[in-house]
């Protein structure tokens, strides 16, 4: 078994952890293709992948095939004909998706996941042995108890843009709770999550059974505060040669399922995707994404339990001894932040500076556009220990919905925020700069958000009029107040942290506010 693990390890590339990773990636949305594997299309690289962060990922999972039952006779002096003693084959391994705090993004994930094949039955009534594991991260130790959340790597510990989390997130061990996402089965009912916290619930599955995880090593590719880990476990050790050849076939498909092609294929197949079939938001949640096939029956079992007639005995034994194939599914994994407040602004407006002023986050700040290439999340804690998560997403530009700039790629991270804070640069047109006036910035931002999701701008919002320290900014601020109504406007100098305490109060008020309130400004004003 050890040799086999080594073989598999060699074949799998080591998993990477993205060191400069965002802190909080709570929800993972899964979509399942109900159609067949898409036709190969060569071409452009996926834009997000090119930028380093993988927050959308397509993968194919295949449960391990069940091992074959053994046909064997034990002969003795007293029984020359022999007694059937062939053991049944082991069940193929399931491929399980697990939500974990230590995953940053999908960059360490394999596009193909396959559960191990169940071991073939052997003579003397032994069933296929249990326990071969596919490791996803090099160097992790096998664990006997994986049915609880693990904290192998705390995202807050990784030096990057995120700060130390002060909120005491409850680590809820939902542990599968009979969690059968049913993804590996024929029918999947789309799940509509309303509160962003619920998850798929279902009937019982193996994952409840501690036995099932026996000798299953959990190893993770990593992501975040809420994240996803995939591992595969197997009941039954297979016979080396047989499995290896099957594995090779599976990995060979990799070319046909190339990462570069996936993003563009997504567009083509939009109509085939069942969106949001499951959401994983709490550490420890597990989802079986492909089930291992049942093992074939050994002749000892068939003879004892089924007592086939002499006439069809051989045929029946042969038929029942074949292990069943594992199921297969193709999924899209998508990361979504669950921040409370989303900072939205044009590039260079000072969002990252503001995030670092509001919280202890230390995102990259520079005097050029698109410094922020991935969302950063900071935690804002009040005196009464009320905590608010603030997400700073890469700058939006006009036409983002037509995929200009970083496009809509990151907007999904603020899709669930309760409050939107529009960060406007008061100094964009001052001192000879050729920027956009703040009210036009706001107009562009609102337009882009509405393009992304209708009604998005109706949620509680405020405006951060940043760079009030610049010469002429006061006048711009007055003009902005005149043109924009309906939302509070906070003059701020993020760099000197001026106006930040008031802004904190304003954000808190909006968090407590139950009445939706959006930006309201005269069209002809902008």
Ligand X SMILES: Nc1nc2c(ncn2[C@@H]2O[C@H](COP(=O)(O)OP(=O)(O)OP(=O)(O)O)[C@@H](O)[C@H]2O)c(=O)[nH]1
Exactly one of 365, 430, 500, 526 binds ligand X (CB under 6 A); that residue is 365
Exactly one of 172, 189, 366, 505 binds ligand X (CB under 6 A); that residue is 366
Which residue number, 149 or 438, has a Cβ lying nearer to ligand X? 438
Binding part of the chain for ligand X, among 119-127, 191-199, 223-231, 363-371 by CB under 6 A, reads 363-371
262 with 40: CB under 8 angstroms? no
Stretch of residues binding ligand X (CB under 6 A), selected from 21-29, 278-286, 305-313, 348-356: 348-356
In this structure, how many other beta carbons lie within 10 angstroms of the beta carbon of residue 458?
14
Decide: is 362 part of the binding site for ligand X (CB under 6 A): no
Distance CA 346, CA 362 (A): 19
Buried-exposed string 239-260: b where 16+ CB fall within 10 A, e elsewhere: eeeebbebbeeeeeeeeebeee
The answer for residues whose C-beta is within 8 angstroms of residue 478's C-beta and 6 or more apart is none
DSSP letter assigned to residue 493: B
Q: Which stretch binds ligand X (CB under 6 A): 14-22, 167-175, 216-224, 493-501?
A: 493-501
Q: Are strands 56-62 and 328-336 parallel, antiparallel or unpaired?
A: antiparallel
Nearer to ligand X, 288 or 428 (CB): 428
Chain center to CA of 193: 15
Number of residues that bind ligand X (CB under 6 A): 24
Q: Which stretch binds ligand X (CB under 6 A): 46-54, 81-89, 349-357, 434-442?
A: 349-357
C-beta separation of 459 from 510 below 8 A:
no
Question: Shortest Cβ distance from residue 391 to ligand X (Å)?
Answer: 12
The minimum distance between CB 47 and ligand X, in angstroms, equals: 17
Minimum Å gap between C-beta 497 and ligand X is: 9
Of 265, 325, 317, 255, nearest to 295 (Cα)? 325
CB of 469 to ligand X, least distance (A): 5
Q: Tell me if 120 contacts ligand X by CB under 6 A.
A: no
Pairing of strands 27-33, 73-74: unpaired
Residue 448 has what DSSP assignment? H
Per-residue binding string, ligand X, 370-409, x by CB under 6 A, is xxx---------------------xx--------------
CB-wise, 471 or 515, nearer to ligand X?
471
Selected from 60, 443, 467, 504, the binder of ligand X by CB under 6 A is 467
Beta strands in 393-460 (DSSP E): 419-425
The C-alpha atoms of residue 373 and residue 265 are separated, in whole angstroms, by 24
The stretches of 231-377 forming alpha helices (DSSP H) are 240-252, 259-268, 299-301, 313-321, 351-358
Spatial CB neighbours of 467, under 8 Å, sequence gap ≥ 6: 350, 425, 426, 427, 473, 493, 494, 495
* 466 lies in the binding site for ligand X (CB under 6 A): yes
- Distance (Å, rounded) from C-alpha 340 to C-alpha 362? 18
367 is a contact residue toward ligand X (CB under 6 A): yes
Binding ligand X by CB under 6 A: which of 134, 137, 349, 377? Answer: 349
Q: Using CB under 6 A, which of 122, 391, 494, 510 touches ligand X?
A: 494
Q: How many residues does the chain have?
A: 526
Nearest distance, CB of residue 476 and ligand X, angstroms: 13
CB of 159 to ligand X, least distance (A): 19
Options 476, 493, 507, 510; binder of ligand X; rule CB under 6 A = 493
| 175-183, 272-280, 291-299, 345-353 -> range binding ligand X (CB under 6 A) | 345-353
Identify which of residues 62 and 467 has a Cβ nearer to ligand X in the complex.
467
Report which secondary-structure segment, H or E, holds 278.
strand 273-280
With contacts defined by CB under 6 A, name the span among 70-78, 96-104, 362-370, 438-446 that binds ligand X.
362-370
Assigned token pair, 208: 């409840």
Site string for ligand X, 3-32 (x = CB under 6 A): ------------------------------
Among 246, 253, 264, 369, binds ligand X (CB under 6 A): 369
CA atoms within 13 A on the CB side of 445: 33
Interface with ligand X (CB under 6 A): 345, 347-353, 365-367, 369-372, 394-395, 466-467, 469-470, 493-495
């Amino acid at each position: 078994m050890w040799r086999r693990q080594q073989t598999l390890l060699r074949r799998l590339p080591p998993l990477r952890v993205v060191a400069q990773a965002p802190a909080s990636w709570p929800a993972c949305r899964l979509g399942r293709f109900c159609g067949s594997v898409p036709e190969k299309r060569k071409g452009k690289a996926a834009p997000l992948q090119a930028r380093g962060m993988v927050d959308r990922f397509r993968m194919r999972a295949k449960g391990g095939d069940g091992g074959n039952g053994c046909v064997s006779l034990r002969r003795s002096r007293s029984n020359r004909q022999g007694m059937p003693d062939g053991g049944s084959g082991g069940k193929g391994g399931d491929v399980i998706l697990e939500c974990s705090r230590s995953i940053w993004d999908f960059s360490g994930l394999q596009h193909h996941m396959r559960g191990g094949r169940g071991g073939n039955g052997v003579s003397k009534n032994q069933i296929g042995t249990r326990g071969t594991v596919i490791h996803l991260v090099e160097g992790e130790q096998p664990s006997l108890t994986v049915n609880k959340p693990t904290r192998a790597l705390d995202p807050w510990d990784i030096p990057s843009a995120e700060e130390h989390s002060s909120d005491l997130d409850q680590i809820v061990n939902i542990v599968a709770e009979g969690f059968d996402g049913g993804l590996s089965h024929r029918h999947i009912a789309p799940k509509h999550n309303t509160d962003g916290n619920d998850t798929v619930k279902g009937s019982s599955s193996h994952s409840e059974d501690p036995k099932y995880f026996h000798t299953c090593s959990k190893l993770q590719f990593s992501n975040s505060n809420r994240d996803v880990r995939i591992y595969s476990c197997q009941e039954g050790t297979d016979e080396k040669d047989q499995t290896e050849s099957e594995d090779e076939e599976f990995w060979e498909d990799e070319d046909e399922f190339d990462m570069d092609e996936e993003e563009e294929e997504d567009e083509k197949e939009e109509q085939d995707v069942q969106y949001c079939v499951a959401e994983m938001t709490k550490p420890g949640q597990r989802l079986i994404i492909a089930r291992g096939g049942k093992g074939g029956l050994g002749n000892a079992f068939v003879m004892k339990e089924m007592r086939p007639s002499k006439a069809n005995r051989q045929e029946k034994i042969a038929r029942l001894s074949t292990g069943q194939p594992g199921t297969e599914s193709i999924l899209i994994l998508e990361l979504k932040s669950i921040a409370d407040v989303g900072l939205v602004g044009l590039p260079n407006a000072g969002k990252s500076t503001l995030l670092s002023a509001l919280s202890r986050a230390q995102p990259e700040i520079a005097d050029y556009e698109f410094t922020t290439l991935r969302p950063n999340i900071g935690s804002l804690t009040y005196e009464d220990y009320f905590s608010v998560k603030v997400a700073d997403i890469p700058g939006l530009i006009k036409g983002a919905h037509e995929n200009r700039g970083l496009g809509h790629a990151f907007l999904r991270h603020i899709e669930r925020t309760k409050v939107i804070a529009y960060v406007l640069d008061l100094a964009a047109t001052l001192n000879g700069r050729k920027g956009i006036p703040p009210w036009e910035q706001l107009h562009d931002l609102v337009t882009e958000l509405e393009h992304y999701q209708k009604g998005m701008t109706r949620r509680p919002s405020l405006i951060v009029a940043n760079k009030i320290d610049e010469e002429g900014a006061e006048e711009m601020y007055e003009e902005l107040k005149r043109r924009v109504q309906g939302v509070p406007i906070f003059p701020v100098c993020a760099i000197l942290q001026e106006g930040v305490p008031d802004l904190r109060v304003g954000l808190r008020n909006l968090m407590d506010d139950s009445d939706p309130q959006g930006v309201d400004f005269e069209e002809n004003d902008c």
